[in-house]
Amino acid sequence: MPAAVPSPGPQTPQAYDTEFTLQLEKLRELLGTYLKTEDIERVAAAFLFSAEAHRGQFRISGDPYFSHPLAVTGILTGWHLDAQALMAALLHDVAEDTEITLAEIGEKFGKVTAELVDGVSKLDKIEFQSIEDAQAENFRKMLLAMARDVRVILIKLADRLHNMRTLDTLRPDKRRRIARETLEIYAPIANRLGLNNLYRELQELAFRHVYPMRYRVLAKAIKAARGNRREVVSKILQAIKARMNEATIEAEVMGREKHLFGIYRKMRGKSLSFSQVLDIYGFRVIVKDVPTCYLALGALHSLYKPVPGKFKDYLAIPKGNGYQSLHTTLIGPFGTPVEVQIRTTEMHHVAEAGVASHWLYKDDKSLSELQQRTHKWLQSLLELQSASGDSAEFLEHLKIDLFPGEVYVFTPKGKILPLPRGSTAVDFAYAVHTDIGNRCVACRINHELMPLRTELRNGDQVEIITAAHANPNPAWLSYVKTGKARSQIRHFLKTMQHEESAALGERLLAQALRPFEFTEGITDAVWDKFVLECGAKSKKEVLTDIGLGKRLPAIVARRLAAGIEMGEMTGEPKPQGPILIRGTEGMAVQLAHCCRPIPGDPIVGIIKKGQGLVVHLADCPSITLRGRGERAKWVDVEWERDSGRLFEVAIKIEAENRRGVLAKIAAEISEAGSNIQHVTMDDEHGIYTSLYFTLQVSNRVHLARILRALRHIPEVVRISRVRE
């Protein structure tokens, strides 16, 4: 929302008061159609309070600033919002742009009104590192307030609509930024809440400012085509009305020109020129009830031939925002595609006003399901918020989640779940329940076992197979589509990493403390003092930081030792013992990919910031090249005997290029008790070829046994272990 600016010139108090007195009378008249007298008086009091607070403030256009909250209130009265929302709309900039506080607003107009104003207000008084961080945090605050009360977003959308209508007075760069923000966030939110008219207008206004040249060219082309196609549209309209009369179906039939942004999106999505987009006109048939919708569909299909695969039944399976209609595409006169939507009057109300129909049509009983859907989506925002690490991540997940579902899949019990196009079985698992997603190991799609990364299609029946000890796989992040799945996977991995890092940090600190022998353990008092001095929140945070390489264990050990009285230390310093590596520690301990160490290899550990302990071969070139500066981060490590897990190792085999050699090598590897994880070969046609295997071995002795077996193959010339 544009900030208030100083007066561009003198304005008499009388002119100001006269202008807004007339506006107040108009508002009273409008509110009299649906509000009680006492509510109208409360709104009038907020009107006068806000007008006085904004006196002397002007918009960049030169209009009195109060004209903006008044226009926002006018938009909300069109949706018949209640008195609290209208008061909040009138006061929504008072707390930001004047000396009046939220506490004063709450005292004068009620706690609920003040909370609505707070939900819409920006976080101007908090310093952020960048504009992007501030924007992300503002969206997060607004959307969480919206999850508590949907009126917050209705006020914000009305605010954005008026700002978009008056965007021409701003600088071009600011216009583009606000328009792009509208296109990416506000228009999709309007769509998600079923506010179809608002959604279309926001898209059109944003399109005009983000791509001004494209908008002008397309508008000119539409204007030229309008005259050429008017006769065809009129002919189709008359034909549809005549067919409805013949079938004795009472129907309201209307034609509409598609919006510029919709045409532009279709041209871009399908790489079409404007002349190839034939269906720039659509038609609506509005009837009395659901059975009549299907009768009307049959009548239309007998009038014009339907295009196969272009029929969608949103009556049986409504969209996520509550939208219901029958969609069909017909081949009209001269081969022109004709898109027709068939719906009832109640469905038409929902399609145009969405969640705002709760206020606009209070007697409409069919809206209860829509309200439940909206409430469910708003609650999912709270889940995203709790799982997201920061505002930017929350905004990223929200953007993914805002685009409406286009794929409808079934659970084994027949329940329908809408998901975004491109969703996988993992997305489905998280949509059912977070625990199902975290524990899934496989899936059946239409009763057949399929990979978890399989993209779902309309009508698929999906069954998720879970295991009690399964955990999310980081690789899932590369193909999940929904914000919920992405945020829950990241949340789980972060939690696991912190738990494992804390355990590793404890081991590293214990190793660093071994030069000292304490008659008693480090007391809570010593830990509390250290935690306070270093600015950490808890002992666990310190241990996690050690495990993640953010703190050096030797320094922490010295500071802890300094906090213990000398009388508690006895004996000579004991030598530091090595940390034992099992290979099963998880994300806190990683085996370096550059040298792929396995049990039996001489190893060294390095604490890397943000990664924890990374284990390398002692002679790995990547650590010897770093020099003495890295030595302080080296940790003495040893392999634990019989860890019981398999480790990956890469080998290169040079062999004669003969038929059957690969089969012989694979047989020997299998005979030696190893699995082949991956195999590639050089694309050469000479006498010899190079084969690269990634094998699973238990230790260095196991690898030596495999290599001995491979050397007995006559065609094998040379074998070596690969280190990147």
Catalytic residues: 96-97
What is the rounded distance in angstroms from the CA atom of residue 403 to the CA atom of residue 482? 10
Beta partners for 607?
613
How far apart are the C-alpha atoms of 448 and 461, rounded to whole Å?
A: 10
Which of 425, 476, 483 lies closest to 454 in space, CA to CA?
425
Burial of residue 304, with CB atoms counted within 10 A of its CB: 0-12 exposed, 13-18 middle, 19 or more buried: buried
Residue 617, beta-bridge partner list = 603
Report d(CA 93, CA 152) in Å as an integer: 13
> Counting every residue, how long is the chain?
724
Nearest-5° Cα angle at 103, 99 to 108: 95
For the chain, the maximum distance between any two Cα atoms, rounded to a whole number of angstroms, is: 106
Give the Å distances, CA to CA, from 421 to 49, 393, 404, 456, 458: 49, 21, 9, 8, 9
How far is residue 186's CA from residue 684's CA, in Å, rounded to a whole number?
Answer: 56
What is the DSSP annotation of 210-228? Answer: HSHHHHHHHHHHHHHHHHH
In whole angstroms, give the CA distance from residue 13 to residue 18.
8
Terminal Cα-to-Cα distance of the chain (whole angstroms): 55
Structure tokens at 397: 């997940």
Write the DSSP symbol of residue 80.
Answer: T
Q: How far apart are CA 293 and CA 635, in angstroms?
A: 74
195 is written with which tokens?
């506010």
Torsion over CA: 450, 455, 460, 465 (sign): positive
**Residue 306 C-alpha from the chain's centroid:** 37
Alpha-carbon distance 318 to 563, whole Å? 66
Using CA atoms, how far residue 402 sits from 186, 424, 479, in Å, is 10, 17, 18
Token couple for 52: 């006085």
